[in-house]
Structure 1
Amino acid sequence: MTAKNVLFILSDEHARGITGCYGNNAVKTPNIDALAAAGTTFENAYCNNPICVPSRASLATGRHTHEIGFWDNAQPYDGSVRGWAHALSEAGHRVASIGKLHYRDADAPVGFTEQILPMHVVEGKGDLHGLLRSPPRIRPSMKNLSAELGPGDSDYSRYDSAITDAACRWIAERARKPDEKPWAAFVSLACPHFPLVAPKRFFDLYDPAKLPWPKGRDGNGALAHPVLAAFRKYQNYDDYFTGEEHVRLAVASYYALVSFLDHNIGRILESLSGSGLTEDTLVIYTSDHGDNLGARGFWGKSLLFEESVGVPMIMAGPGVPRGRRVATPVSLVDVAPTIMDAACEEVHSSEATDLPGRSLLSIAGDPDDPDRTVLAEYHAVGSITGCFMIRFDRWKYIHFVDYPPLLYDLKADPEEMCDLAEDSEYAGVRSRAEARLRAIVDPEKVSARAFADQQRIIERNGGIERILSRGEFPHTPVPYADPSFN
């Protein structure tokens, strides 16, 4: 295979279902949809951990959270586990990051040959408040999500415009001054992550009254589950919404931010085309996780329902089937072997053999394999226990250590409104799903290890009271701003 440049575009908190090419007729995403038409769309794509820092560590390394131990937003990737950027840069490729990384800091040896406008975790420590899980604590910043809504500019939207400008300049420079070997660019945008404030031209695309109402807000039994009830108690974003208009404004703002994201992706792809590099470049678009957006009364990410754990995954470029839709389940750990595969066979053969994922280039070229198993897990803010998800064929199995599981038939019930875990008719499916999970990971041991690691970090930072006195912040500030602690 001829080596290719790689343009890897990542967004933050883009739910798979709020994209035109995934069947949403209300959202306007013409550039993402055009990319899908020109390439391959993975219909059943997932993150491996539905919160920023652990998800990005899996993306960097091609490994699951339990393999690498970056459990939460206070344990940022530091380069101690090799990733695709190390493999490419050490093989002589230019490997640039442009935008949000959410790693430890700019000095961590994460493998990039350059970092442009990087965003890293606060003080190299991140969200210490999220370590407190026994029990979790109600977070003062929860009120911010519902307070910052509607048309306007935010630090994040301005940051994304700057990232897009920098990416376009970088691509044009590669065309003017070609490298001997193919390059890789990781362009990482911050939107549609809250604050839910969108530039007016994109907000004006939507009538809040006509957008889909979040499902399950009137109760579907989800909060009867003790783990979900605890999460709702401590991640209490919904308590601060005052009525239907308020909720609809938040939904419209998110849709507008997705369209703003789409506009920036279009600008980057236009720069690639204008520089004459499209035919030599593999383009991958995905997100680090999704967003519940009010479904079942939850906002933000962190859950293992489709809205939060499902992500768009689109790939286009030389050798990629055009207009193909792949049913095989895939996840973000498949990205690392894909990038190494595209960059050069030497890198791929030496680095990717023991990774749990598989190159998307190979998956896109093969017949569908709906029985492939995908794993996600969660050990972070708001969770009172270790949470694990297995997706295979039509089934979604969610395992909670020491608590009852959930089981959904995603073919008959794509909205995950009917839990089948206690239905005797599905006992065999539940048993097979748990066996698949345990073939990959020991949930009890992993959950205990996560709690123990988090306790050590709590003690290293002066204990619970010291962390509480430090306060917490609603989201990581852009590189040129200071955190606003609550």
Structure 2
Amino acid sequence: MQEFSKLDRRQFLGHSSAAGLSALYPGLLGKKNGKRPNILLIMSDEHNQRVAGCYGNTVVKTPNIDALAASGITFENHYCNSPLCVPSRSSFTAGKYASRVDVWDLSNELPRDDMPSIARSMNAAGYESFLCGKMHYEEGRRYGFTEVGGDFNRYPKDGLGKRMTPAELKDHTVLSQRFREFATRDDGSTVKHDLRVTAGAVDFLEHRKSDAPFFLLVGYLAPHFPLIVPEPFYAQYKDKVPAPHVPEGFVNTLPTNYKLERVGFHETDVPQETVKFGRELYYGLTSWMDNQVGQVLAALRKNPELAENTIIIYTSDHGENMGEHSLWWKNSMYDQAARVPLVVSWPQRWKGGQRRKLASGHVDLVKTIVDLGGGQSGADWNGDSMLPWLDNAKHTWKDQACSEYYAKLIAHGFAMIRTGKWKYVYHGRPAENMATERQLFDMQADPEELSNLAAEPRYAALIAELHTRLEHEVGGSIDETEQRARKQLATGYPGKVVTRGGGEDGA
């Protein structure tokens, strides 16, 4: 198969330092008036890429994100490092895949508070790195960021998590509390959290005086559940959001991991009226979040000189299943959960309205941000800088993204690789007496990922090649990584006692 020749991924794009890239591409850092650009990174939480106007959705209203796309570059196949808050954000912080820093679940933290991070790389390059909002850090840990706008990160971590077994597959008669919380009100916890984030970011931008360049990460919680939305934002979507397309009998074809998640998260047999209401609320909360983004951008543009010299990046930590494939929340490798929006805007350097269609990932975005600041990435970080690709749409790009999931309520950790038109997911063996489970999708012919091709003999060689590339990229055997994750989640962090909530994933 010619399109999957056994080329080492490093042949696609070398891991050059920022200095090396600058030598290859004069003016790469794009200084304006002798100043390096500020970088404003807005990271929402649980934003399904398909629920944005700039990604072709004609129902949802996201005018501020769409305006960024019109003035910038939109990445069509960009993936998170893990479809769960803590592994995704910790991996982003460290510049490495979650399995390389042993962050498996919400209960985990990075190995050391003083470890190299994106913020520390930017600080070393002469930037001041600030965090306003959620990054799901434990209290006392900021990894090189200075927090502004309030104390948003006080998450206790005990390192514990629970695996499930196929024997636990059974329907629950009681739905998750998350469904019972669906409502139209102004006082939802997500809304209250993000109003504070917006206020802090606006205050920072309106009162920024220092001549030093800044790297500001604005961490929103929306459109993450609870799906409690101010009425005006919900009303515009009532009876307008299409229902999920789940073919008859499709649930029976799901991998064991996803069947267990449906049971573990109490999301089996969700009433159709609840599905409809939840999807409408999600659209409303996405528009509400876009409005908050607009307020931050308006504050930046009050100072034209500051705005002209600020690169704006919008992305999310993972997506939301929204009832597609009979799944909710995140926790899967379907595009609804693993593929995320990414828009990069700086009209001073890049013409607006551009698209990039090849696959990329958050590990690449981390490298790109550090290179934008003229910083030095960690020698052992994953990913490749996308700067040459930003500058030139025809630049050779690896067209590859990987993501991992080793959290609770599954039988075996799983990992994904997307390259070209193919997406491959390895789930491992749910139990000793069960066979390995795999998924293979042709994303051109089957963008909804409803037809798993993995069992067809004609794809055996392709699957073997993709599996090799996946394990090479993440740095080891998925089965061995599963055993390490399983052991660590069972042991936790000795000596740390944390009062835990009702057992469901709250982030």
Contact 1:304–1:389 under 8 Å retained in 2: yes
Distance in 1 of aligned mates of 2:446 and 2:468: 23
C-alpha displacement of 1:461: 5.8
Query: 1:227 matched to which residue of 2?
Result: 257
**Aligned residue for 2:231?**
200
CA distance in 2, matches of 1:432, 1:7: 38
- How is 1:352-431 mapped onto 2 (pairs within 5 angstroms)? 352-366=378-392, 367=394, 372-402=399-429, 403-431=436-464
Task: String of CA shifts for 1:105-149, please: whole Å, max 9, x gaps.
Answer: 1x12510133432433543448x4xx0114498999962111111
SS in 1 for 2:290: helix
Alpha-carbon distance in structure 1 between the residues aligned to 2:437 and 2:214: 47
Structure 2 vs 1, CA of residues 121 and 297 (structure 1 numbering), >3 Å: closer, same or farther? farther
Partner of 2:42: 9
Contact 2:158–2:496 (8 Å) recurs in 1:
no
Determine which of 321, 337, 343 is the counterpart of 2:351: 321
Paired residue type of 2:328: W
Determine the C-alpha separation between the residues in 2 that align with 1:157 and 1:300.
18
Q: Could you tell me which amino acid in structure 2 is paired with residue 448 of structure 1?
A: Q
- 1:155 equivalent in alignment to 2:189: yes
Q: Distance in 2 between matches of 1:278 and 1:461?
A: 45
C-alpha root-mean-square deviation of aligned residues, in Å?
A: 2.4
* Paired letter, 2:86: V
Choose from 44, 48, 59 the match for 2:77: 44
> How far did residue 458 of structure 1 move?
7.2
- How do 1:27-38 residues align onto structure 2 when only pairs under 5 Å count? 27-38=60-71
Corresponding residue of 2:298:
270
**What's 1:97 paired with?**
131
Larger deviation, residues 438-447 vs 301-310:
438-447
Using the aligned pairs only, state the percent identity: 31
In the TM superposition, residue 226 of structure 1 has moved relative to its aligned partner by 2.2
Q: Structure 1: give runs of 5+ residues left out of the alignment.
A: 477-486
Alignment of 1:242-281 (within 5 A): 243-276=271-304, 277-281=306-310
CA distance in 2, matches of 1:455, 1:169: 43
* 1:100 Cα offset (Å): 0.9
1:285 aligns with 314
Residue 37 of structure 1 contacts residue 322 of structure 1 at CA under 8 Å; is this kept in 2? yes
1:351 match: 377
Q: 1:65 to 1:287 in 2, by over 3 A?
A: same
Quick one: which amino acid aligns to residue 258 of structure 2? L
Structure 2 distance, partners of 1:27, 1:219, is 30
Deviations 1:213-255 (A, max 9, x none): 112164325545322222222222244x3x3222111000000
Q: 5 Å matches for 1:75-224? A: 75-77=108-110, 79-105=113-139, 107-120=140-153, 122-125=155-158, 128=160, 131-135=161-165, 143-153=176-186, 154-174=188-208, 177=209, 179-207=210-238, 209-216=239-246, 218-221=248-251, 223-224=253-254
1:480 aligns with: none
Partner of 2:221, secondary structure, is strand
Structure 2 partner of 1:432: 465
Q: Secondary structure at the match of 2:220?
A: strand
Q: Paired residues, what number?
A: 458
**Structure 2 vs 1, CA of residues 123 and 228 (structure 1 numbering), >3 Å: closer, same or farther?**
closer
Alignment deviations for residues 182-220 of structure 1 (CA, whole Å, 9 cap, x no partner): 11111001100000011112112112x221111216432
| 189-198 or 67-76, which deviates more | 67-76
1:453 aligns with 2:488: yes
Question: Is the 2:149–2:196 contact (alpha carbons within 8 Å) kept by the matching residues of 1?
Answer: no
**Per-residue CA shift, 1:253-276, capped at 9, x if unaligned?**
000000001101111111111122
Secondary structure of the structure 1 residue equivalent to 2:176: helix
- Per the TM alignment, residue 414 of structure 1 is displaced from its structure 2 partner at its CA by 0.5
SS of the aligned residue for 1:210 comes to coil
Shift of 1:448: 1.1
Q: TM-score, normalised by structure 2?
A: 0.85
Write the distance in 2 (CA, Å) between the matches of 1:171 and 1:210.
37
The one-letter code sitting in structure 1 at the alignment partner of 2:382 is P
Specify every segment of 5 or more residues in structure 2 that has no aligned partner in the other structure, as ranges: 1-28, 430-435
Distance change in 2, residues 1:144/1:92 (3 Å): same
1:416/1:474 CA distance change after superposition, 3 Å: closer
Shift of residue 39 of structure 1?
Answer: 0.2
Between 108-117 and 299-308, the greater mean CA deviation after superposition? 108-117
Residue 224 to residue 99, structure 1, CA distance change in 2 (3 Å)? closer
Residue type of the partner of 1:389?
A: M
Letter in 1 for 2:206: A
Equivalent in the alignment of 2:11: none
How far, CA to CA, are the matches of 2:389 and 2:502 in structure 1?
A: 45
Residues 249 and 217 of structure 1, relative CA distance in 2, 3 Å threshold: farther
**TM-fit CA distance, 1:337:** 1.6
Question: Is the 8 Å Cα contact of residues 461 and 467 (structure 1) preserved in structure 2?
Answer: no
Question: Does the 8 A contact of 1:68 with 1:81 survive in 2?
Answer: no
Contact 1:93 1:182 in 2 (8 A): yes
Corresponding residue number in structure 2 for 1:294: 323
How far apart, in 1, do the equivalents of 2:173 and 2:145 lie?
Answer: 36
Q: Is the 8 A contact 2:137 2:155 kept in 1?
A: no
Q: 1:411 to 1:438 in 2, by over 3 A?
A: same
Q: Counterpart of 1:282 in structure 2: which amino acid?
A: I
Look up the SS of the partner of 2:279 in the other structure.
helix
Distance in 2 (alpha carbons) for counterparts of 1:157 and 1:141: 27
* Segment of structure 1 superposing worse, 329-338 or 361-370: 361-370
Q: 2: distance between equivalents of 1:191 and 1:237?
A: 21
Q: Could you tell me which amino acid in structure 2 is paired with residue 156 of structure 1?
A: T
Measured after TM superposition, the shift of residue 404 of structure 1 is: 1.7
TM (normalized to structure 1)? 0.88
String of CA shifts for 1:34-80, please: whole Å, max 9, x gaps.
10010000000100100000000111111101111111110024534
Conservation of the 8 A alpha-carbon contact between 1:72 and 1:380: yes
Which amino acid is 1:38 matched to? Answer: S
Does the CA contact (< 8 Å) of 2:116 and 2:378 recur in 1? no
